[in-house]
Structure 1
Amino acid sequence: MTTFNAQQYKSTTRAQWEDAAEAWDRWGPFIENWLGQATRRMLDAAGITTGSRVLDVAAGAGGQSVAAARRAGPSGHVLATDISPAILKYAAKAAADAGIATIATRELDGEHLDVTPDGYDAVISRVGLIYFPDQQAALAGMRAALRPGGKLSAVVYSTADRNGFFSIPVGIIRRRAQLPPPAPGQPGPFSLGTPGVAEQVLATAGFKEVTVETVPSPVRMRGADDCVRFERESFGALHQMMSGLSEAEREDTWTEIGQALAQFEDPEGFVGPCEMLVVSGVR
């Protein structure tokens, strides 16, 4: 049995996002539409309003950073952080393209948030917390960054059975690459999805008034082929899972994924099952 190596995992994750940064940015308009409702719920739960100082952890290409900055207005401030410097360049460009001067970017490991203690009114993280090997370390840093009474809100996936657009490809790859399922406590897309888990994790980290809101977030595209292209271009973790397969085996795997995802097509297009949770707490 292979022992999970957290440092190697983080190095690999950084490399994945360095490679996928351009594609994630290119798919940005689709991503903002897909995750728009969950993002709005996250910003609501974080209490972001005029003048708010916001820390965005695992900010990626910055779509939610821009949304937060618009709420905070010219008197507010957003610090967008990520482990990948390449993707932060796209976050900075997104801010510039939107004409927003109140967003700064900084390369930071989410488990080691070297930011001003008590310096933020809100901390947000969209589809990032689930991938930290040490979620308690990440949450401790987020809590320390918040002023007393400040709020954390994060978007995470619910359970695998509610997220077929993603869990089906993961299952196919695991079978073909003969990979074991992740052990309890290991990072992964569905690591906080089981009922009660997110609440316990935030409470353990010292957050109060913890809430979890379910947000249906179906993946709507023209067809299953588009979903395969989206995941193939921008989901670096899937490529890492296939690293032990030959090129021909990888192509066969993507073909099988496309065939499996076709079950979500109808005459009007593709609707992939996806359900997000907005998990929130107060310092």
Structure 2
Amino acid sequence: MESERQIEQIREQQKQSWNTFSPGWKKWDTFNMEFLRPMGEAIIGNLHLKGNEHVLDVATGTGEPGLTIAAKLPHGKVTGIDLSEDMLLIAHSNAQKRKIKNYETRATDAGDLTFKTESFDAISCRMGFMFFPSMEMAATQLYRVLKPEGRISLSVWDEPDQNDWVTTIMDAIKKHITLPPPLPGSPGMFRCTPARKMEELFSLTGFKDISIQRISSKVDYESFERYWEIMMDVAAPIVATMSAADEETRKMVRQQTEKSFRAKNKAGEAKLNYAALIISAHK
């Protein structure tokens, strides 16, 4: 279990990081939301919504899948929470553009919720769990605020070898830059794998009928140049690592990344694979 000081450090680091990179997420919002849409659809399907629920969308970021859920709730509403105030400003703007009035936002940490016990009928969380300061505290809090028999569904990334979209550049970085080993339990893309880790966490927290579904496909970047630009705009850990490297090293990393990218697209395409786990359960 992480110490209080460690949790606070991670919380502040995550908040600053997502605030800093919110302009990149705004710039590539259409691309990213299309990329992540299958996971959002699976989450929504697993919640079995009737239309009058109050849903908590955790790590809502720029608003999804919370906004899509809100549009499906003629007599309900969605509260979207995130650590990053700047991401929530984008979510609020997206809600206004789509004229969705039953979606509200609140800046808060999933592991330290101030909502009353048993406040929500359902909980969604797309690609947020791996970044929480403490996954145990988050699971406990989400269980607390969920009503009896309420459903939760979330997505996390599957194993690294199933996610070329991020490992293509990360493997190139590791070839040329020595990275410090991450602290045990610290946030990371593949912190929630293997699948049994999330199953055990949910079971220990008290959730029942835990199911795990796998989604895999390819994401089309259209060109290597576009892939590189997107990763440099939205991938905080990658950009931080690259910024600390000298120009020659950055150049070598880009060349290595391009070589790997093109080797995976021998027919001249610009696609990389991805795989996600959808974990669903009820209280």
Tell me if both proteins adopt one fold, taking TM over 0.5 as the criterion: yes
Residue deviations 1:50-87 (CA, integer Å, cap 9, x gap): 111111111100131111111222x1111111111001
CA contact (8 A) 2:70 2:100 kept: yes
Return the alpha-carbon distance in structure 2 between the equivalents of residues 157 and 87 of structure 1.
21
Equivalent positions of 1:198-277 (< 5 A) are 198-267=198-267, 269-277=269-277
Tell me by how many angstroms 1:12 deviates.
2.0
CA contact (8 A) 1:47 1:122 kept: no
Closer, same or farther: CA 123–218 of 1 in aligned 2, 3 Å: same
Closer, same or farther: CA 184–5 of 1 in aligned 2, 3 Å: closer
Return the alpha-carbon distance in structure 2 between the equivalents of residues 266 and 16 of structure 1.
35
Equivalent positions of 1:1-283 (< 5 A) are 5-73=6-74, 75-182=75-182, 185-267=185-267, 269-283=269-283
CA RMSD of aligned residues (A): 2.0
Residue deviations 1:188-225 (CA, integer Å, cap 9, x gap): 11111213122111111111111110011421121222
CA contact (8 A) 2:195 2:277 kept: no
CA contact (8 A) 1:174 1:181 kept: no
Return the alpha-carbon distance in structure 2 between the equivalents of residues 187 and 234 of structure 1.
16
SS of the aligned residue for 2:55 comes to strand
Return the alpha-carbon distance in structure 2 between the equivalents of residues 239 and 10 of structure 1.
19
Amino acid at match of 1:53: H
CA contact (8 A) 2:56 2:78 kept: yes
Closer, same or farther: CA 248–14 of 1 in aligned 2, 3 Å: farther
Amino acid at match of 2:201: V
Range that drifts further, 5-14 or 190-199: 5-14
Residue identity over aligned pairs, in percent, reads 22
TM-score, normalised to structure 1, is 0.92
Return the alpha-carbon distance in structure 1 between the equivalents of residues 258 and 132 of structure 2.
29
Range that drifts further, 258-267 or 152-161: 258-267
Residue deviations 1:252-277 (CA, integer Å, cap 9, x gap): 42343233222232446211110011
Return the alpha-carbon distance in structure 1 between the equivalents of residues 243 and 134 of structure 2.
24
Amino acid at match of 2:138: A
| Count of paired positions | 280
Residue deviations 1:223-267 (CA, integer Å, cap 9, x gap): 222222111111112123345323543344234323322223244
Return the alpha-carbon distance in structure 2 between the equivalents of residues 156 and 49 of structure 1.
25
Return the alpha-carbon distance in structure 1 between the equivalents of residues 199 and 183 of structure 2.
20
Return the alpha-carbon distance in structure 1 between the equivalents of residues 91 and 15 of structure 2.
16
SS of the aligned residue for 2:191 comes to coil
Return the alpha-carbon distance in structure 2 between the equivalents of residues 71 and 277 of structure 1.
23
Amino acid at match of 2:166: F
Return the alpha-carbon distance in structure 2 between the equivalents of residues 263 and 11 of structure 1.
39
